[in-house]
Amino acid sequence: MSESKINELKGDIDELNLLLKQAKRKRVQDLLSVEVRKLETEWISLRDSASSATPMDVSPIPTTSTVQEKRYQVKLNGYGWDQSDKYIKVFVTLKNVQNLPKEQVYCKLTDKSMELIVENLDNKDYTLVINKLLEPINVGESHWKQKTDMVVIFLAKQNPMSKWSHMTEIERKFEDQRSNRFKNDDLDKKDPQESIMSLMKNMYETGDDEMKRMISKAWYEGQQKKKDSTIDL
């Protein structure tokens, strides 16, 4: 799946979240939330698939002996992540990494960065560097594990129970700038309720039977309330 498709999905999710903040009716909020969760699930799946298939920069490591087998330095760019109350969990896919001795798989950590190093896996040395983490981590309580075709790094949150919106400060800054541009360029020019109605129409046309049923019910109940208000007056 192309990177443009992943970016397009991310943009749709961001726009839906902005419209969700503008929505005032509970049922409309529920409908938007369902669509956000649906797109987020698709986006995570595509992102993880792209991460495992991302081309990697490979360059040979000079050796001092012609007899010694060549080793290559591989810079990893793709990874997945999740979080619990205590940990940020980073998932790095590497085939057969479970077969390496533990001393060849390790991390260098600071309170705001991590570097995964995997030595001599099929004659390659792998590194993954993540700088400027969104929040500080507790180095002493962090650890990592080798699993089948994967390394999982457990970064202990310095502030347990905090929820990270992004993995790094740079990612959050980028999203904030994008959101601000959307608000300035679109929300000031367009009625939020009109945007929501247009979005719901598109959701109805492209949604499954359950989504159509929910939208039809929300529209019907809204029309009934309008009629009741008119009669009361």
The DSSP letter of residue 66 is: S
Domain identity same for 122 and 62: yes
Using alpha carbons, select from 50, 106, 107 the residue that is nearest to residue 77: 50
Domain of 71? 56-157
Asked if residue 180 is part of any domain, the answer here is no
Q: What pLDDT is attached to residue 22?
A: 79
The CATH code of the domain that includes 110 is: 2.60.40.790
Q: What pLDDT is attached to residue 129?
A: 95
Q: What pLDDT is attached to residue 216?
A: 75
Domain identity same for 19 and 89: no
Asked if pLDDT for residue 192 goes beyond 80, the answer is no
Give residue 123's pLDDT band: very low, low, confident or very high (50, 70, 90): very high
Section 30-53 average pLDDT? 75
Q: What pLDDT is attached to residue 19?
A: 80
Asked if residue 178 is part of any domain, the answer here is no
Contacts of 201 (CB under 8 A, 6+ apart): none
The DSSP letter of residue 168 is: B
Identify the top-confidence range among 47-56, 166-175, 189-198, 222-231: 166-175
Q: What pLDDT is attached to residue 225?
A: 64
Domain identity same for 45 and 126: no
Counting beta carbons within 10 angstroms of the beta carbon of residue 23, is it exposed (0 to 12), middle (13 to 18) or buried (19 or more)?
Answer: buried
> Over the stretch 169-184, which tens digit does the pLDDT of each residue have?
888 887 877 777 666 6
Q: Which two tokens stand for residue 87?
A: 């940990």
Go through 72-88 and write b for each residue having 16 or more CB atoms within 10 A of its CB, e for each that does not: eebebebbbbeeeeebb
Asked if residue 206 is part of any domain, the answer here is yes
Asked if residue 23 is part of any domain, the answer here is yes
Q: How many domains does the chain have?
A: 2
Section 17-38 average pLDDT? 78
Domain identity same for 24 and 93: no
Q: What number of other Cβ atoms are within 10 A of residue 219's Cβ? A: 16
Asked if pLDDT for residue 34 goes beyond 70, the answer is yes
Domain identity same for 80 and 115: yes
Domain identity same for 152 and 64: yes
- Collapsing DSSP to helix, strand or coil, 172 comes out as helix
Helix (H) or strand (E) holding 194: helix 192-206
Question: Is 98 in contact with 149 (CB distance < 8 Å)?
Answer: yes
E-state strands within 96-201? 105-110, 113-118, 124-130, 137-147, 150-157
Domain identity same for 82 and 150: yes
Mean per-residue pLDDT of the chain: 80
Q: Which two tokens stand for residue 17?
A: 């979240």
Give residue 230's pLDDT band: very low, low, confident or very high (50, 70, 90): low
Domain identity same for 99 and 76: yes
Helix (H) or strand (E) holding 179: helix 169-182
